[in-house]
Structure 1
Amino acid sequence: MTNADLLALGAILMWASLAALGVSLAHVPPFLLTGLGLLVGSALALPLSRFRLRAWALPWRTLALGVYGLFGFHLLLFIALRTAPALQTNLINYLWPLGMVVLAPLLLPGLRWRAGQLGAALLGFAGAAVVILGRSGASLAGGWHAGYGLALGSALVWSSYSLLTRRVPAFPTSAVGSFAAVSGLLALACHALWEPAVSLSARDLLLIAALGLGPLGGAFFLWDAALKAGDPRRIGLLAFLTPLLSTAVVLVVTGQALTASLALGAVMIVGAAFWGSRAAG
């Protein structure tokens, strides 16, 4: 296992806690929650940059790419969840690891498609589908919703952002704090425009701080470091662990029993990661 794998797994483990924290903060409007979480997360850049604020200064195109990724992803996903069934929306959104594998040769010079990696990515997505569908016992029956297109857009935004960070001039991982800060302010603007005002308890603030230090903060820094150090196709395959671990954490926190669908999905996703790593040589 490479250093990039470990960094990516660190981000994935943090993202796995997002659903459990979201259950505890379900009463907080999503844009408010995201905005505050991203602003807390952006503060992690201070020690990373040795408290030198000039390390946050970036060319405008690099900053635009970061805001496109962090804010664009959440904006499209939240609107999709408001306009389409959550189960199908969540499943479509988890096309983003597959998107990383498929788009990598198109967006990054020097990479090419390998049949084994594409097959592994499809197997990984199938495993994610088993986990997500099995969690609710629901099916994908139902008609088309415009929100599905937005969910697909959110998946494409995150996969393309993850790849395109290697096409802009090199920037330190601490500069991700700039992406998070601007995206957090934009999310709070969306809250002011579209969501009702709410009051937050001390417990809410503590959980939001945990959200910012973990899945809406630290995870983005680890993800950026992983992408700088490793093969994005391999990292994309590892990302299928996110819905698996997230579902497992929710079941443990809520005291529910682990299910056969979770076990099957685990076998498929781990198998996909192993297959993909072997296909990469």
Structure 2
Amino acid sequence: MTRRRATLIGGIAILLWSSLALFSVGAAPVPPFQLNALCFAVGAGVGLGWMWAGGRRVRLPRLAPRVWALGVVGLFGYHALYFTALRNAPPAAAGLIAYLWPLLIVIFSGFLPGERLRWPHLAGATVSLIGVAVLLGGGDTLGAGNALGYAAAFACALFWSGYSVLSRRVGDVPTDCVMLFCAATALLSVPFHLAFEETAWPVGAAGWLSVLALGLGPVGLAFYVWDVGVKRGDIQLLGVLSYAAPLLSTLLLILTGVAAAEESLALAALLVVCGAALAAWGSARR
């Protein structure tokens, strides 16, 4: 598989993650950890389809403890911290801090063997980050009373960027093994749900379809294609292109009537596109 093709496959995850907010709204009032358990169970099933589509039998290798730790901490840890951040800080500000992970991917990837961090990558990531700030700012200000939420959001960015970059270090582990990480995340979410939440099921067919869509897409197939992208593709370009996820997510919410259009959207779109183009130019110079 060529580097360019792997990058394109990884980019599918960004498109799928743009629907995360929309389907999460549709899955209300299911609490976070219960939703985690349901969606990642479906995501594990997606792994079976992934192997079947590739003509492979379900025969997964034994994984080293460090690989298990990376996969489970990356998937389960990220979502646990993300939900904690949204509960303990203004959502817009917490979301902005959490979305530092694409910028951190670009920076951390420069330390990988065979990679080189160029100034267009840093400049593009910075411009795109400003675009996300315009999009998610929403007038919220940082406050000391929200310290737990902001700390969780920053840890969330560290977890996912660390997972994405370190996945390159275990590039010999087949993408099929993501199914195991999804299954482990689903199982771990159950005791957390029972300990901290009250059970609530989706409302009607629309609610159940939203849960299914989450498990099939942004909390399912997205992890498999992302694994291909970060292991074999241009991880720096993928990091910058990831800033399109909150932008596309907002556009989807507006088109479906869940959110209202804002004047800052056009400026945010321009900044995100310019940042991605700058990073793409930096990669093309290779």
Note whether the superposition's TM-score is higher than 0.5.
yes
Alignment partner of 1:85 is 2:90: yes
Matches within 5 A, 1:176-191: 176-191=178-193
Maintained 8 Å contact 2:13/2:226: yes
Go from structure 1 to structure 2 and tell me whether the alpha carbon gap of 1:172 and 1:94 turns closer, same or farther (over 3 Å shift): same
Per the normalisation by structure 2, the TM-score is 0.91
Alignment partner of 1:74 is 2:70: no
Maintained 8 Å contact 1:120/1:237: yes
Maintained 8 Å contact 2:41/2:186: yes
How far has the Cα of 1:175 moved from its partner? 1.2
Per the alignment, in what secondary structure is the counterpart of residue 199 of structure 2? coil
Q: What number of residue pairs does the alignment pair up?
A: 277
Alignment partner of 1:276 is 2:275: no
Identity of aligned residues (%): 40
Maintained 8 Å contact 1:80/1:151: yes
| Paired position in structure 2 for 1:46 | 48
| Paired position in structure 2 for 1:142 | 143
Per the alignment, in what secondary structure is the counterpart of residue 43 of structure 1? helix
| Paired position in structure 2 for 1:111 | 115
| Paired position in structure 1 for 2:16 | 14
| Paired position in structure 2 for 1:62 | 67
Q: 1:24 aligns with which of 23, 26, 31?
A: 26
**AA matched with 1:23:** V
**AA matched with 2:32:** P
In the alignment, the residues of structure 2 paired with residue 247 and residue 129 of structure 1 have an alpha-carbon distance, to the nearest angstrom, of 13
**AA matched with 2:120:** G
In the alignment, the residues of structure 2 paired with residue 199 and residue 100 of structure 1 have an alpha-carbon distance, to the nearest angstrom, of 36
Higher mean C-alpha deviation, range 201-210 or range 51-60? 51-60
Per the normalisation by structure 1, the TM-score is 0.92
**AA matched with 1:140:** T
Q: 2:270 aligns with which of 267, 274, 281?
A: 267
Runs of 4+ in 1 over 6 A off after TM superposition: none
| Structure 1: tracts of 5 or more residues without a match | none
In the alignment, the residues of structure 1 paired with residue 211 and residue 79 of structure 2 have an alpha-carbon distance, to the nearest angstrom, of 16
How far has the Cα of 1:148 moved from its partner? 0.6
Maintained 8 Å contact 1:237/1:273: yes
| Paired position in structure 2 for 1:100 | 105
